[in-house]
Amino acid sequence: MRICILSGTPKKEGLCQSVINAAKQGAVEAGAEVDEIRLCDYKLIRCQVCGDGWGVCRSEHYCKYGSDGFEDIRKRIRESDEIIIASPVYWGETSEALKSFLDRLRRCEFGQSGALSNKQVLLIAVPGGSGNGMLTCLEQLDRFCRHTGAVIFDYIGVNRWNSDYKRAAAKAAAFAMATGRKNGDTV
């Protein structure tokens, strides 16, 4: 089992990274190979909105500008069996780095024939100060999964006052997903 973590946090330490570390630990304990992709470490461009709104992303399923690192990352995602997407909540949304990456990925992997179709995805949103925006961030990620046909394994929202038990939930969710539990299984 190969799991990639698509991370939107710019920080190497902090609340969001601590949740990612917990999820990673759960997946590793289940025997998975984990590939953590820190999107903020790349200088990725945003979608250039080719043509009249659609470019080769629609017809040939790749990004014309993907040599900036986008296509390499997409290959790592395609080679993964399951995915964890984790982001700090900024303005009630994912971080900008994650949002602009997912904008491009969604175009290339749109629909039931895309590489994310039927892959299980664990969604993690981590708000900070107010704790506001957890649901809107998760809803944004939910929409990405629906556009790409990915199967949402679970939603985990972590804030300052629930991080002790939600970090444990992130670890347990990643463990369960990595050991083969499927969305819809009764436990």
Ligand X SMILES: Cc1cc2nc3c(=O)[nH]c(=O)nc-3n(C[C@H](O)[C@H](O)[C@H](O)COP(=O)(O)O)c2cc1C
- Interface residues with ligand X (CB under 6 A) are 9, 11, 14-16, 88-92, 126-133
Taking the complex as a whole, the smallest distance from the CB of residue 163 to ligand X amounts, in Å, to 9
Taking the complex as a whole, the smallest distance from the CB of residue 96 to ligand X amounts, in Å, to 8
Taking the complex as a whole, the smallest distance from the CB of residue 46 to ligand X amounts, in Å, to 17
| For ligand X, the closer CB: 118 or 130 | 130
Pick from 74, 9, 27, 40: nearest CA to 181? 27
| For ligand X, the closer CB: 80 or 140 | 140
Neighbours of 57 (CB within 10 A): 23
SS3 57: helix
**Could you give the CA distance from residue 31 to residue 27 in angstroms, rounded to a whole number?**
7
| For ligand X, the closer CB: 115 or 126 | 126
Q: Where do we find the tokens 């900070």?
A: 128
| For ligand X, the closer CB: 8 or 55 | 8
Taking the complex as a whole, the smallest distance from the CB of residue 68 to ligand X amounts, in Å, to 23
Contact 29, 174 (CB under 8 A): no
Neighbours of 99 (CB within 10 A): 19
